[in-house]
């Protein structure tokens, strides 16, 4: 018995050795290559992060192997047993394949083979998944998307044992499992495969990768160029309300996905949460194409767009490496995800070994088990690891970069994000000109994110909750202006998709960072423009945020400007009167989910509230106009299943025509629970005045407690750097050239 | 000029050297000693933690010295400028004194001298502090307590420069500042000085320490033995409602404080938050007495009670080193506080160099600059640091240990605290038989703590908020039984002070930890007994908590049992109906601060709710009786200034006579935001049944999803280990001997 094993291992070793010396057409040649495997083997024990990742993979696969081969008849939704089992299977197979190549231990190959044979056994016996909620039902899973996931991972495993398998088994698997599987997620479901959408990217990659493994050029063609098939007319929308066919869409397939999914800056219109998810098939298939079809030059496609997209993702994170939760997004998803572990190492390896990426790779604490991962792990071991150079950046949206953008301002430990991009398709939120603010400790002004607990069965199976639609997507759930109690575009995705926000100005000097954008179409007869600046002022501990929201609107328009501050309300300069009975603030557009806890008719010049979070103080100061009101809100009304967090907010309400909401946001002071000593717990702002507001200009003056006074003046309609401006104000005439001026005028 | 400085430094060096060779009666001899200073100097550069603490002290003093001498006329409350300035001054002087001794740099001595002369200048010119809210107004501060703080720290500084000062200055300071100051906080305010209370401990220590420095035996006698003075009859209560004179109180002074403040286990009836605060004067004065009056044997007093008290404090912390927030307590106060930095090092040095303390000292990251601190820092440097051996422990309350207790159960990463101690004087809460639950990540079932933001001026000057009384102290704010909507003892401190909870049983084996206590007097005609067990069950990830709350009460009694779970509500097995308009739940006893968000008339056998926090799931499962209701609550009604956190709760409501509330609490599963994969997100409990309930016994049966079944049976009135018990149940007769039995009955 032992002798037999020894002989098998010997044969295996010879076979592996043969591969190493092969011509590149032998397997593995998808993600792993013979040359790469050879280098990995010789590096074992020498590159800590790589060794550690190998060790983790071994442990993960070991515990799966101990469970034995479990291939249950599909039944459950995400979070349920059969769903999670099939998902665990493909992760385990992918890892086992790599381990087989790296260690030469046949147990891994046997595990994969037996698992695949079990799938081959089951495949012809099952029909569509019993759950009927998807526009494209899978067979193993409730949606084709997950079936495609399975194939993307499993084709990597298959590639790793392809040459090891006997021919009979190989032919059986190709014919009875993989080709029919690939057909199912493509020609049998064109409404899934032929879209320009992250679902289809997975589908394209899945079919393309198995095609590359089997040398099935037809599949590879489908994957690259899409199907020459009409999508049946009964598929119009997916489950999220996204269109199956984009207006004027003429292409499909992987290359079209790259063309249409990303802007030239690598921004993905659905936002970073979905981009993260989509990046894995983009990059893994690209890696396979780079190995097997170098003539395509896929990594240079559109000026190296796929690498740019990785950088775009990195730029869309806070200090904890968590993605900005714009559009539908569960908070907490981060650079630590498996998709980014693959993506960042790949960007390092194929993108010129940028040392700035090493700090991220190091904090990820693991690397993918392939050429990229080995290279990245070596980089971490050999080089001084410097922090990724985050900086202010505008990421344009739209395939050609002309459909809006997001502006990210970074100054010291402060990060501000303003969104004036496209709607983001079915996962978009009605949040034009909304913003998010972070300091290095976390959220300061939050975006709600999606109303969803991903994969948590208690919460409607882990899918989107109905409050995602009724609350999280609505305008009032965001830090942006609500006009006449209605969401942007009346809450209609189709309308929102027709236009994007309009970038107006973006500039960053070391001490003044400015973004300004317009939104002319969210509301009929209303022109909105928001200008935000992050200014570093010598007198203050942290940079200060200036927020000038201009609206040109008919007289009598009602404006609600919410501010979802994070933390405990400390105090206000205004007299709020609390409600002892709470009723929902409205019946629709998200207002039905808000309680008004307290309100104030605003008096004097300023509205100021201070809150406390993470052992720090924060103050928002806003200029008020006669008749303004403020409401302290709490999320949670009409929420029978406790799907929403009970988070607080402040709404600044104004009835007006053309107007300007002028505010500044301060981060200040500290509090230590062990010393109980507060520092700098009050705002440093003593006055904030609007010096001028018109359709063409917005100007404010800011006075600190110290007496120091600053002016910020901004040209709303002339973005020429050369123009000279002059406005009359209560402080006399102010003149400047260029779009804005920020100056100290006193002390 | 330089020559003069050099000569002064030379003289100083000689004078310091003389001290070192002194007879122990020369200064410093209060906290520092000549011998200790000599050792510190020779250890510089050799003991990292000590060096680091010296460095931090230097930086702190340096930045204070740069400010110059600021001794403003007293005006503000805590948090305000003059208050915080005088407080910063005494901390700076104390540190400067030590640095003068360690470094010999005269700048430190000059700083202290000049500061003291400024105080001596001001003292005769000021009367009582202008703020009138204290029962014992100070002069520098709004209350004598803070004046005493000042003197405790400043006498240490004074001791350090005493011999360095010229005689004229010394006499001036003794006569014009320190003696009158000491008289002010003692004979002029006996209602402050002569109590058995933490305020007086500070007063005693302050007067005693300055007495020791000045060799003023009269002051030392006052400090040790109290004043032979009647407290004027118009002082009956302090600002917190605490009695000025305890019933039958015949003694006062420091020794009486030790006698009366602590139980024989070192428990302090006001709870750990105030014990932490009180420990500093106890220990620092004891240290001074040990140095200057060794004949008193203060550290052996009551079998080394002061050291025991430090251990009691350590035992009253969660995994983050934060004190259990029982009674009035701000959450977050911890072993990191300066008081504990002093206390733990001192316990190490004087208490036999217990290596278990070194892990705490190490995590504190600094040591006091004295003999104890040097010894502790050496311990950390030289020894292997092992974790402090936390274990289940009952800490008795009352001077002779017969007035209730708190029970702390620890099993793996779980910590449960049940309180059945005395009321805790003016800072006590009406929380008999209440409990708190932690896992290693933090709070699972929370105690609200106090309604206060200590020193944060926005919040009513940083003092106790009125919601502390109307909410935080009331029974409904705690995890314990509320009978007929009234707080324990009708919310009257005087009544509550007359009795304590009654310890009944406490036992800890490796896998079963049990505490049981009775409360016969909180409500008329109602006998309460709570029995909690933490059991380690092979089938579960974490230990399970069993909670059996028995009540013997008249028929028709209404019981509300709240559970303040920490986190986001996930799901319940019961059908809750949410309220779209919220009204306060009542008008008094704390109910006026609760919103009922949702309620259910309970059906079938069990009430189960699952919540999510810190990436983990938690489930509470309770047996229900016909007619039971459940209410999902939210704190925040009648809270016009947003002084309360909007935390959730669950109230289990029952109308009954004699009854048993039987519940179990599970910690289970996990969720990772980067993988979005939940594990074990459902409860493992399939059945929970009350097998028996009577005035004498409580018995439950617990069945897991695996089928495994456990029984817990408990004798409520016979705590003999030898007794045999037999009860009839639906599962037949169950027999056991001893107070309880926990057995597996199936699988």
Over residues A597-613, the pLDDT tens digits come to: 999 999 999 999 999 99
Over residues A379-392, the mean pLDDT reads 93
The burial of A69, by beta-carbon neighbours within 10 Å (0-12 exposed, 13-18 middle, 19 or more buried), is given as middle
Please give the Cα distance from A72 to A81 (Å, whole number): 9
Q: What is the pLDDT of residues A293-328, one digit of tens each?
A: 999 999 999 999 999 999 999 999 999 999 999 999
Phi and psi dihedrals of B714, rounded to 5?
-145, 135
Q: What is the pLDDT of residues B572-601, one digit of tens each?
A: 999 999 999 999 999 999 999 999 999 999
Q: What pLDDT, on a 0 to 100 scale, did the predictor assign at position A321? A: 97
Distance from CA of B658 to the nearest CA of A (A): 34
**Mean pLDDT score of chain A:** 94
- A-chain CB neighbours of B583 within 8 Å are 580-582
What secondary structure does DSSP assign to B237-282, as a single string?
B-TTS-BSS-TT----SHHHHHHHHB-TTS-BTT-HHHHHHHHHHH
Q: Report the DSSP pairing between strands A414-420 and A405-411.
A: antiparallel
Peptide bond into B742 cis (omega under 30): no
- Model confidence at A175, pLDDT cuts 50, 70, 90, reads very high
Q: What pLDDT, on a 0 to 100 scale, did the predictor assign at position B245? A: 74
Q: Quick check: A711 and A671 in contact, CB under 8 A?
A: no
Q: At what angle do helices B371-382 and B34-43 cross, to 10 degrees?
A: 30
Over residues B55-83, the mean pLDDT reads 94
Distance from CA of B102 to the nearest CA of A (A): 25
**Mean pLDDT score of chain B:** 94
In sequence order, the 6+-apart residues with CB closer than 8 A to the CB of B10 are: none
Q: Quick check: B277 and B337 in contact, CB under 8 A?
A: no
Among chain B residues, the shortest Cα distance to A593 is held by B580
Nearest Cα neighbor of A332 from A278, A272, A385 is A272
* C-alpha triplet B350, B352, B354: angle, nearest 5°: 115
- A-chain CB neighbours of B595 within 8 Å are 582
Please give the Cα distance from B497 to A576 (Å, whole number): 39
- Model confidence at B25, pLDDT cuts 50, 70, 90, reads low
- Model confidence at B16, pLDDT cuts 50, 70, 90, reads very low
Q: Which two structure tokens, joined as six digits, stand for B232?
A: 């004027």
Structural Rg of chain B based on CA atoms: 28
Please say if the pLDDT value at position B78 is more than 90. Answer: no
Half-sphere exposure of B702 (CA within 13 A, CB side): 28
Structural Rg of chain A based on CA atoms: 28
Q: B571 and A458: CB-CB below 8 Å?
A: yes
Distance from CA of A65 to the nearest CA of B (A): 19
Q: What is the pLDDT of residues A681-722, one digit of tens each?
A: 999 999 999 999 999 999 999 999 999 999 999 999 999 999
| Residue, of A19 and B454, whose pLDDT is higher | B454
Please give the Cα distance from B61 to B55 (Å, whole number): 10
Distance from CA of A499 to the nearest CA of B (A): 33
Q: A576 and B646: CB-CB below 8 Å?
A: no
Please give the Cα distance from A240 to A424 (Å, whole number): 11
Q: B456 and A642: CB-CB below 8 Å?
A: no
Among chain B residues, the shortest Cα distance to A80 is held by B678
Among chain B residues, the shortest Cα distance to A632 is held by B642
Indicate which residues of B carry an active-site annotation: 274, 427
Q: What pLDDT, on a 0 to 100 scale, did the predictor assign at position B261? A: 87
Percent over 90 (pLDDT), chain A: 90
Q: B612 and A453: CB-CB below 8 Å?
A: yes
Per-residue buried b or exposed e for B34-53, using 16+ beta carbons within 10 Å of the residue's own CB: bebbbebeeeeeebebbeeb
Nearest Cα neighbor of A565 from A504, A516, A626, A614 is A614
Percent over 90 (pLDDT), chain B: 90
Q: Quick check: B564 and B448 in contact, CB under 8 A?
A: yes
Please say if the pLDDT value at position A22 is more than 80. Answer: no
- B-chain CB neighbours of A577 within 8 Å are 640
Half-sphere exposure of A330 (CA within 13 A, CB side): 20
Beta-carbon count within 10 A of B232 CB: 9
Please say if the pLDDT value at position A8 is more than 50. Answer: no
- What residue ranges define each of the domains in chain A, with the CATH number in brackets? 2-30+68-232+248-261 (1.50.10.100), 397-676 (2.70.98.70)
Q: Quick check: B135 and B237 in contact, CB under 8 A?
A: yes
Over residues A503-525, the mean pLDDT reads 98
Q: What pLDDT, on a 0 to 100 scale, did the predictor assign at position A1? A: 41
Q: Flag the least confident range among A447-451, A473-477, B141-145, B350-354.
A: B350-354
Please give the Cα distance from A211 to A215 (Å, whole number): 6
Please give the Cα distance from A174 to A191 (Å, whole number): 25
Q: What pLDDT, on a 0 to 100 scale, did the predictor assign at position A25? A: 59
- Model confidence at B13, pLDDT cuts 50, 70, 90, reads very low
Q: What pLDDT, on a 0 to 100 scale, did the predictor assign at position B301? A: 94
Please say if the pLDDT value at position B19 is more than 80. Answer: no
Q: Which of B79, B455, B580 sits opposite A637 (nearest CB)?
A: B580
Among chain B residues, the shortest Cα distance to A567 is held by B645
Q: What pLDDT, on a 0 to 100 scale, did the predictor assign at position B585? A: 98
- A-chain CB neighbours of B641 within 8 Å are 571
Q: What is the pLDDT of residues B465-497, one digit of tens each?
A: 999 999 999 999 999 999 999 999 999 999 999
Q: Report the DSSP pairing between strands A616-623 and A629-635.
A: unpaired
Q: What pLDDT, on a 0 to 100 scale, did the predictor assign at position B1? A: 40
Q: Flag the least confident range among A57-66, B13-22, B546-555.
A: B13-22
Q: A674 and B582: CB-CB below 8 Å?
A: no
| Residue, of B352 and A628, whose pLDDT is higher | A628
Q: B642 and A334: CB-CB below 8 Å?
A: no
Please say if the pLDDT value at position B12 is more than 50. Answer: no
Q: Which of B84, B634, B645 sits opposite A568 (nearest CB)?
A: B645
- A-chain CB neighbours of B322 within 8 Å are 673
Please give the Cα distance from A687 to A665 (Å, whole number): 13
Please give the Cα distance from A21 to A593 (Å, whole number): 65
Q: What is the pLDDT of residues B186-232, one digit of tens each?
A: 999 999 999 988 899 999 999 999 999 999 999 999 999 999 877 77
Over residues A461-480, the mean pLDDT reads 96
Over residues B401-406, the mean pLDDT reads 98
Please give the Cα distance from A725 to B272 (Å, whole number): 65
């Amino acid at each position: 018995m032992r002798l037999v094993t020894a002989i098998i291992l010997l044969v295996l070793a010879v076979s592996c050795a043969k591969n190493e010396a092969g011509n590149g057409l032998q397997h593995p040649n998808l993600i792993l290559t013979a040359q790469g495997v050879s280098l990995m083997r010789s590096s074992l024990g020498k590159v800590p992060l790589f060794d550690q990742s190998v060790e983790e993979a071994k442990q993960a696969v070991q515990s799966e192997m101990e469970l034995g081969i479990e291939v249950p008849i599909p039944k459950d939704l995400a979070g349920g047993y059969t769903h999670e089992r099939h998902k665990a299977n493909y992760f385990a197979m992918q890892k086992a394949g790599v381990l087989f190549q790296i260690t030469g231990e046949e147990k891994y190959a046997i595990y994969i083979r037996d698992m695949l044979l079990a799938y081959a056994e089951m495949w012809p016996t099952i029909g569509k998944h019993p759950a009927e909620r998807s526009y494209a039902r899978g067979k193993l899973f409730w949606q084709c998307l997950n079936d495609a996931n399975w194939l993307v991972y499993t084709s990597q495993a298959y590639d790793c044992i392809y040459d090891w398998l006997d021919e009979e088994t190989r032919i059986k698997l190709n014919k009875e499992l993989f080709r029919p599987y690939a057909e199912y997620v493509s020609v049998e479901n064109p409404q899934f495969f032929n879209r320009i959408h992250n679902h289809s990217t997975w589908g394209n990659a899945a079919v393309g990768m198995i095609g590359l493994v089997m040398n099935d050029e037809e599949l590879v063609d489908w994957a690259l160029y899409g199907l020459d098939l009409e999508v049946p007319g009964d598929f119009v929308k997916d489950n999220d309300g996204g269109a199956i066919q984009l207006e004027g869409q003429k292409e499909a397939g992987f290359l079209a996905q790259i063309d249409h999914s990303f802007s030239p800056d690598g921004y993905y219109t659905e936002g970073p949460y979905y981009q993260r998810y989509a990046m894995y098939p983009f990059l893994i298939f690209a890696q396979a194409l780079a190995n097997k079809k170098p003539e395509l030059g896929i990594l240079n496609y559109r000026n190296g767009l796929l690498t740019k997209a990785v950088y775009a993702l990195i730029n869309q994170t806070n200090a904890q490496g968590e993605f900005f939760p714009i559009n539908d997004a569960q908070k907490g998803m981060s650079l630590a995800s498996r998709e980014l572990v693959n993506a960042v190492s790949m960007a390092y390896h194929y993108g010129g070994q940028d040392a700035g990426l090493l700090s991220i790779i190091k904090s990820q604490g693991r690397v993918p088990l392939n050429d990229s991962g080995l290279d990245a792990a070596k980089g971490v071991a050999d080089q001084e690891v410097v922090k990724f150079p985050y900086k202010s950046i505008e990421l344009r949206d739209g395939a050609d970069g002309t459909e809006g953008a997001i502006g990210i301002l970074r100054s010291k430990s402060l990060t501000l994000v303003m969104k004036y991009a496209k709607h983001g398709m079915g996962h978009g939120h009605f949040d034009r000109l909304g913003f998010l603010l972070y300091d290095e400790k976390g959220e300061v002004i939050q975006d709600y994110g999606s109303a969803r607990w991903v994969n948590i069965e208690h919460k409607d199976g882990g899918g989107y909750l109905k409050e995602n639609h009724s609350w999280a997507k609505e305008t009032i759930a965001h830090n942006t202006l609500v006009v006449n109690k209605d969401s942007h575009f009346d809450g209609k995705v189709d309308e929102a998709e027709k236009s994007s926000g309009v970038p107006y100005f973006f500039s960053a000097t070391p001490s003044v960072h400015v973004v300004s954008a317009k939104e002319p179409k969210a509301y009929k007869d209303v022109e909105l423009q928001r200008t935000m600046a992050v200014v570093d002022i010598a007198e203050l501990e942290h940079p200060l945020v200036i927020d000038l929201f201009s609206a040109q609107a008919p007289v009598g328009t009602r404006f609600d400007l919410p501010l979802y501050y994070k933390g405990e309300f400390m105090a206000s300069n205004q007299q709020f009167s609390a409600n002892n009975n709470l009723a929902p603030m409205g019946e629709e557009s998200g207002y039905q989910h808000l309680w008004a806890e307290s309100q104030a008719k605003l008096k004097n010049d300023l509205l100021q509230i201070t809150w406390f979070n993470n052992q720090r103080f924060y103050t928002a100061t806003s200029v008020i106009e006669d008749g303004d009101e403020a409401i302290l809100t709490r999320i949670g009304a009409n929420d029978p299943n406790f799907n929403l967090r009970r988070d607080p907010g402040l709404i600044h309400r104004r009835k007006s025509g053309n107007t300007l909401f002028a505010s500044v946001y301060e981060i200040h002071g500290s509090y230590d629970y062990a010393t109980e000593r507060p520092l700098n717990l009050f705002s440093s702002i003593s006055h904030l005045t609007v010096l001028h507001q018109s359709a063409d200009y917005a100007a404010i003056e800011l006075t600190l407690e110290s007496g120091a006074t600053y002016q910020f003046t901004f040209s709303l309609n002339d973005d020429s750097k050369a123009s000279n401006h002059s406005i009359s104000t209560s402080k006399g005439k102010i003149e400047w050239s260029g779009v804005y001026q920020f100056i100290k005028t006193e002390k």
